[in-house]
Amino acid sequence: MTAIAVTIAGSDSGGGAGIQADLKTFAALGVYGASVIVALTAQNTQGVTGIYDVPADFIKAQMDAVFSDLAVDAVKIGMLSQTASIAAVAKGLADHRAKNIVLDPVMVATSGDRLLAADAVDALRKLLIPRALVITPNLPEAAALVGASSARNEKEMEIQARELLALGARNVLIKGGHGTSDDSVDLLIGQGDVVRLSAKRIATMNLHGTGCTLSSAIAAGLAKGLDLKEASRQAKTYVTGAIAAAATLKVGHGHGPLHHFYQSGRDA
């Protein structure tokens, strides 16, 4: 059987994040990728200049089309900027009994531009977090979801992850990419032991789409039948390699993209 994953996210016209990064990741990891586009962004490596939200009924129509025909093994959810979009996605997931849902609660682009409306945060908490197998917030996103300041160390990361579990999340992968230590440490926390995923921090401007790529790599692993711990470990390794190889790409004048196809030697 062909492993199939679907990304439900926004389109990045610059190609580095969102739907484009997710589909590149699926392809690089040997998974067939389908997509549900929830927003169009006018975006490049330097910033976001516009967002056009897809109407909620058309989001649902895309989901119905994909799930009624394809045997979807995993779902990655990324940028959802409006409450109506979140509600439409939640209904579609329920109607089609979607499994292996990876929720990346995207709030702000790498450039610093806000991607999630302030009044939609509560809808994200109530409608999508409880449906996800795992949520993958970075430090600012985790802090915003629990109403705190960004975690400064691993102990505070664990505390905030457990507060997210209390909101109904089944598992939380809290990402330490915004930290300042020599290592970039992510913590995967569920009902059992804390799984520590660590890699040497790479000094680079080419980090556009890192969160999208990690969450879609986890979804790809789940689609291929890996358990969450192993899917997360392999995703961390893949993303670290894609960041390290990003300097070989010469794309844009700001925060450049990762090299999603570094393992095959192909250009992006």
What are phi and psi for residue 150, nearest 5 degrees? -60, 140
Q: What is the per-residue pLDDT for 81? A: 83
For 55, left (φ over 0), alpha (ψ -120 to 50), or beta? beta
Tally of CB atoms within 10 A around 9: 28
Cβ contact 5:34 at 8 Å: yes
The whole-angstrom separation of Cα 3 and Cα 94 is 21
Q: For residue 138, what pLDDT is reported?
A: 93
Domain membership flag for residue 223: yes
Q: Which residues pair with 51 in a beta bridge?
A: 41
Do 26 and 220 touch, CB atoms closer than 8 A? yes
221 domain residue, yes or no: yes
pTM, full prediction: 0.94
Structural domain includes residue 69: yes
Is 151 a domain residue?
no
Tell me whether residue 123 is in a domain.
yes
Residue 89 lies in a domain: yes
Q: 107 lies in which domain range?
A: 4-134+212-248
How many folded domains does the chain comprise? 1
Domain CATH number, residue 22: 3.40.1190.20
**What residues have CB less than 8 Å from 244, skipping those under 6 apart?**
202, 262
259 falls within a domain: no
| Residue 164, in any domain of the structure | no
Non-local CB neighbours of 113 within 8 Å, separated by 6+ positions: 47, 48
pLDDT confidence of residue 239: 97
Tens of pLDDT along the chain (268 residues) come to 899 999 999 999 999 999 999 999 999 999 999 999 999 999 999 988 999 999 999 999 999 999 999 999 999 999 998 899 999 999 999 999 999 999 999 876 655 566 667 778 889 999 999 999 999 999 999 998 988 889 999 999 999 999 999 989 999 999 987 666 778 899 999 988 899 999 998 888 889 999 999 999 999 999 999 999 999 999 999 999 999 999 899 998 989 999 999 998 666 5
What token pair was written down for 260? 């999603």
What does the buried/exposed string (b/e) look like for 142-176 if buried means 16 or more CB atoms within 10 Å of the residue's CB? Answer: bbbbbeeebbeebebbbebbebbbeeebbbbbbbb
